[in-house]
Amino acid sequence: MFEQDIAQIQDLIDHERLTELRELFAQYPIPDIADILMAVDQNNRVLLFRLLPRAISSDVFSYLESEDRNEILKGLSHEETRNLLLNLRPDDRTVLFEELPGRVTQKLLNLLTPEELKTTRLLLGYPEESVGRLMTPDYVAVRPEWTIGEALDHIRLKGRHSETLNVIYVTDKSWKLLDAVEIYQFILTDPEQRVADLMGHSVIHISAFEDREEAVHVMLRYDIQALPVVDSEGVLLGVVTFDDVMDVAQLEATEDFHKGAAVTPLKGSYRETGIWELYRKRIVWLLGLVVVNILSLQLMAYYQEILASTIALTFFIPLLLGSGGNTGSQSSTIMVRGLATGDIEVNAWAASLGKELAVGLVLGLTMGLTGILLGSWNGGLTIALIVGITMMLIVIVANLIGAFLPLLLTKLKLDPAVASNPLITSITDVTGLIIFFSVSQWILAIAH
Amino acid sequence: MFEQDIAQIQDLIDHERLTELRELFAQYPIPDIADILMAVDQNNRVLLFRLLPRAISSDVFSYLESEDRNEILKGLSHEETRNLLLNLRPDDRTVLFEELPGRVTQKLLNLLTPEELKTTRLLLGYPEESVGRLMTPDYVAVRPEWTIGEALDHIRLKGRHSETLNVIYVTDKSWKLLDAVEIYQFILTDPEQRVADLMGHSVIHISAFEDREEAVHVMLRYDIQALPVVDSEGVLLGVVTFDDVMDVAQLEATEDFHKGAAVTPLKGSYRETGIWELYRKRIVWLLGLVVVNILSLQLMAYYQEILASTIALTFFIPLLLGSGGNTGSQSSTIMVRGLATGDIEVNAWAASLGKELAVGLVLGLTMGLTGILLGSWNGGLTIALIVGITMMLIVIVANLIGAFLPLLLTKLKLDPAVASNPLITSITDVTGLIIFFSVSQWILAIAH
């Protein structure tokens, strides 16, 4: 997408027109600079990175993928690395240290000032995927008894290095969070008034130990752009901003997509993930599902008399099991996603199951009729009856399994996303075969 | 979750203590008020809604689901409806009119002032799911030649009714967008300086006719909280705020989840969707997939000699087809999601297919070995060979189909999400059977 820009910059590099290069390069938005940086010739990357103004270079660095960060870090001097680290926002620094190998992290930690080190160690102390890991301690807080004018002076003094100035926090002397006030309210209000006059009844906040997914839910529900993070005493620790939360929402959705297809969620992007890593994340599930499928194998062997006696019935097995799997995948996916967004509540499970029972009945009737048609076309009356009834029952049962399993998993405090399409398909295969052989035995006994 | 609060409010209603009720109720955050409103006895809802201060009631109304909105609207007088409509934010009004039946929309449009009517008609004029439908025209713009002090005076004057004051837009006299400046920069800067001094090199913007999903991508990439919307001349039309975009991101992810399980995306929430609607969104796909499955049926019938001669081979069909379906679901889901987030680029299709070919080979070898073990355990050497080789080939081919189809659909400018798990499973069933019968024929011929 930046072919022209990249060519132009590569050209400036090749002709060593560094002043022009420096000026042009810094004019792009940060994410574009990051993309262009990784698109130029590998030998020129560190050179180009060094040309960036200090304030921009740390932001660009935060945008790179972790492998690319390592590459840049290797090319920088001690002093340059130190400056880069000090300019990184605290939350971006946490992410960097999370990703790097422990040995490199130790080396980098030694470059920090004692105060920066304290903050970093504190943020790294929160559990992985917790809100604490996402937050930045760079915010501005004011006291309720101050006038708006005093508050504005304080904001001007403290605000220059803050990541989040759109919302100003009101705390008491012991830093307990009292309220969050959008900065434009300070502009719209008479400077003689008190901060207390701007305060509302309640303030939405979250604990640093909460799962980061909860921060997504809270921000989506309350439409707030910066979520204050507190400890168990209600003391303000930091702020989570909407951009971090949007990234988390995207990551969590990707994880749920992967889980839904029985892939253990990847740690990094697909591009970054190696072949062995991809293999490991998938083979575990494929082999686990083979175990479920062994039941199908056993069932087929057990009922081989039926298969041998009426070979035409065998022809319908892929069709019947496939339809069951498709139906189960539909209902399980609707449930898993509904539970993730809060659209379906586990406490109202009876209502959801009732609805799915009803939908399953009509789906089963339609598919059962289709089964009768296909059966009479490819067999005779007996086969038509067996295929039709089996299809109807398989669809109804598969639909209920797909709806029930995610609810059950949630009730058991397990992740409903484990009810992946492949798992549901494997389970409906087994139940489908049981239904198929039972119905076959029954109808064949009547027919003879 | 609000059981206690709901009980308390129901109690105040029952005892007609309206003053206390009014005061207590308005203190909750907006989304909580909406939830409590829908949780109290149905007869009291309109009464409770009427008690809300006007500014809050329109926000609460925007949070309700569309059925609940209809219910409230029916209980309000003409005058009350009019006031409610006038207090709604323009973007929320667009959403309301989109959802209501045309007849009701017409009636409500008549209640608007000519100016409001013009704005509403304009917003409704953009295509469904376009950025234009999401935006609000309530923003504050300043001119580059103004001083910061003049700009602040203008913001104070115009800002009281704006939805988005965190970002101030800089335009020229013909309203062409020049830049977007965060409001705190106005506070941090000397009032004597000019707006032009705050301006940067470039401003991220989007066209009103773009798909709303594009707004999600841009905001995620550039981490901006409010995205200015322009026409083809670059004239500022409105602003899309992060909360609307987060909602869209959530909705689009839900649509992709549903598509991934071969469910036509639902229009509203699951709770709101009726049984017939759910049936229609699912049966189309189930019947369509039966058509693909008929191929499996024909293949089984065509090769019935093999099935009849070596019945033990038949036992492995569910296991083999199941494993192929699972593998294909894994790779197609990874591709579809990667394409949706931009992690996988369709232009780099060769790299992705190469990676999947490699992953598929190792997966195929592992699963092939598993197949040999299961085959020798449940059959003999011949069966072990057939099952092992078939399993290996099925896994490799299914993996490639799952990776290839989403890329092909994208190349053809179609939605890659059509490559749902059920569709992939049905296709891999057919190819799996072809592989199964070919390998069986070959090995059986050698064995005899």
Question: Tens digit of pLDDT for each residue in A48-71?
Answer: 888 888 878 888 888 888 788 888
Q: What is the domain-level CATH number for residue A70?
A: 1.25.60.10
The shortest C-alpha distance from B135 to chain A (Å) reads: 16
Residue B105 and residue B25 share a domain: yes
* CA B296 – CA B25 distance, rounded (Å): 61
Residue A179 and residue A87 share a domain: no
Nearest neighbour of B322 by CB, restricted to A204, A367, A429? A429
Average pLDDT value for residue range B244-263: 89
Number of helices (H), then strands (E), in chain B: 22, 6
Domain boundary residue, one of B94, B125, B156: B125
Give, rounded to a whole angstrom, the gap between the first and last alpha carbons of chain B: 70
What would the 3-class secondary structure string for B303-321 be? CHHHHHHCHHHHCCHHHHH
What's the one-letter identity of residue A18? Answer: L
Is position A164 within any domain? Answer: yes
User: In this complex, how many residue pairs, one in chain A and one in chain B, have their CB atoms less than 8 Å apart?
Assistant: 337
- pLDDT given for residue A91 in this prediction: 82
Is position B130 within any domain? Answer: no
Is position A133 within any domain? Answer: no
* CA A114 – CA A435 distance, rounded (Å): 69
The answer on pLDDT for A440 being more than 60 is: yes
- pLDDT given for residue A124 in this prediction: 80
CB spacing of B188 vs A333 below 8 angstroms? no
Mean pLDDT of chain A: 88
The answer on pLDDT for B411 being more than 60 is: yes
Strand ordering across the sheet containing A139-142: A139-142, A164-171, A177-182
Is position A428 within any domain? Answer: yes
What's the one-letter identity of residue B221? Answer: R
Q: In chain B, which residue's Cα lies nearest the Cα of A35?
A: B221
Q: Provide the domain count of chain A.
A: 3
B352 close to B344: Cβ distance less than 8 angstroms: yes
Is position B108 within any domain? Answer: yes
Which distant-in-sequence residues (6+ apart) come within 8 Å of B113 by Cβ? B86
Q: What is the domain-level CATH number for residue A214?
A: 3.10.580.10
Residue B290 and residue B210 share a domain: no
Q: Which of A361-375, B39-53, B428-442 has the lowest mean pLDDT?
A: B39-53
pLDDT band at A435 (very low <50, low <70, confident <90, very high): very high
Range of the domain at B77: 3-125
The shortest C-alpha distance from B189 to chain A (Å) reads: 9
Residue A306 and residue A157 share a domain: no
CB spacing of A271 vs B374 below 8 angstroms? no
Average pLDDT value for residue range A181-196: 90
* CA A352 – CA B117 distance, rounded (Å): 40
Is position A422 within any domain? Answer: yes
The answer on pLDDT for A171 being more than 70 is: yes
pLDDT band at B335 (very low <50, low <70, confident <90, very high): very high
The shortest C-alpha distance from A77 to chain B (Å) reads: 29
Mean pLDDT of chain B: 88
Residue B322 and residue B236 share a domain: no
Nearest neighbour of B220 by CB, restricted to A166, A183, A250? A250
Residue A307 and residue A348 share a domain: yes
* CA A360 – CA A369 distance, rounded (Å): 14
φ, ψ (nearest 5 deg) of residue A127: -60, 150
Which residues in B lie closer than 8 A to residue A429 (C-beta atoms)? 318, 322
- pLDDT given for residue B119 in this prediction: 80
Which distant-in-sequence residues (6+ apart) come within 8 Å of A341 by Cβ? B250, B254
Higher pLDDT, B267 or A305: A305
Paired residues of B207 in beta bridges? B230
Lookup: tokens for A291: 């175990």
- pLDDT given for residue B436 in this prediction: 95
Residue A280 and residue A383 share a domain: yes
Residue A435 and residue A294 share a domain: yes
Which residues in B lie closer than 8 A to residue A283 (C-beta atoms)? 362-363, 366-367
DSSP line for B336-350: HHHHHHTSS-GGGHH
Q: Which of A235-244, A320-329, A358-367, B396-405 has the lowest mean pLDDT?
A: A235-244
- pLDDT given for residue A363 in this prediction: 96
Higher pLDDT, B109 or A184: A184
* Helix locations, B342-420, DSSP H: 349-378, 381-411
- pLDDT given for residue A1 in this prediction: 55
| Cα angle: A389, vertex A393, A395; to 5 degrees | 120
- pLDDT given for residue A348 in this prediction: 83
CB spacing of A343 vs B374 below 8 angstroms? no
The answer on pLDDT for A105 being more than 60 is: yes
Q: What is the domain-level CATH number for residue B294?
A: 1.10.357.20
Paired residues of B136 in beta bridges? B239
What would the 3-class secondary structure string for chain A be? CCHHHHHHHHHHHHCCCHHHHHHHHCCCCHHHHHHHHHHCCHHHHHHHHHHCCHHHHHHHHHHCCHHHHHHHHHHCCHHHHHHHHHHCCHHHHHHHHHHCCHHHHHHHHCCCCHHHHHHHHHHHCCCCCEHHHHCECCEEEECCCCEHHHHHHHHHHHHHHCCEEEEEEEECCCCEEEEEEEHHHHHHCCCCCEHHHHCCCCCCCEECCCEHHHHHHHHHHHCCCEEEEECCCCEEEEEEEHHHHHHHHHHHHHHHHHHHCCCCCCCCCCCCCCHHHHHHHHHHHHHHHHHHHHHHHHHHHHCHHHHHHCHHHHCCHHHHHHHHHHHHHHHHHHHHHHHHHCCCCHHHHHHHHHHHHHHHHHHHHHHHHHHHHHHHHHCCHHHHHHHHHHHHHHHHHHHHHHHHHHHHHHHCCCCHHHCCHHHHHHHHHHHHHHHHHHHHHHHHHHHC
- pLDDT given for residue B1 in this prediction: 55
pLDDT band at A96 (very low <50, low <70, confident <90, very high): confident
The shortest C-alpha distance from A350 to chain B (Å) reads: 13
CB spacing of B300 vs A307 below 8 angstroms? no
Residue B414 and residue B319 share a domain: yes
The answer on pLDDT for B266 being more than 60 is: yes
The shortest C-alpha distance from A357 to chain B (Å) reads: 10
Residue B289 and residue B157 share a domain: no
Which distant-in-sequence residues (6+ apart) come within 8 Å of A316 by Cβ? A374, A375, A378, A383, A387, A390, B297, B300
Is position A260 within any domain? Answer: no
φ, ψ (nearest 5 deg) of residue A97: -65, -30
Average pLDDT value for residue range A161-179: 87
Mutate to test the interface with B, among A3, A161, A317, A319 (most CBs of B within 10 A): A319
Is position A263 within any domain? Answer: no
Paired residues of B227 in beta bridges? B240
pLDDT > 90 fraction of chain B, expressed in percent and rounded: 42
Residue A230 and residue A149 share a domain: yes
The shortest C-alpha distance from B283 to chain A (Å) reads: 6
The answer on pLDDT for A31 being more than 90 is: no
For the stretch A126-130, contacts whose Cβ atoms lie closer than 8 Å and that sit 24 or more positions apart, written own/partner, are A126/A208, A126/A209, A127/A209, A128/A98, A129/A211, A129/A212, A129/A213, A130/A208, A130/A209, A130/A210, A130/A211, A130/A212
pLDDT band at A437 (very low <50, low <70, confident <90, very high): very high
CB spacing of A28 vs B246 below 8 angstroms? no
Higher pLDDT, A429 or B17: A429
Which residues in A lie closer than 8 A to residue B261 (C-beta atoms)? 260, 329-330, 332-334, 421
Which residues in A lie closer than 8 A to residue B219 (C-beta atoms)? 246
Rg for chain B (alpha carbons), in Å?
30
What pLDDT digit, counting tens, does each position of B31-68 carry?
A: 888 888 888 888 888 888 888 888 788 888 888 887 88
Average pLDDT value for residue range B24-29: 85
Phi-psi region of A166 (alpha: psi -120 to 50; beta: other; left: phi over 0): alpha
Domain boundary residue, one of B101, B125, B149: B125
Residue B431 and residue B297 share a domain: yes
Domain boundary residue, one of A237, A252, A267: A252
Question: The tokens 């790294």 sit on which residue?
Answer: A124
Which one, of A261, A219, A56, lies nearest residue A135 by Cα? A219
CB spacing of A319 vs B293 below 8 angstroms? yes
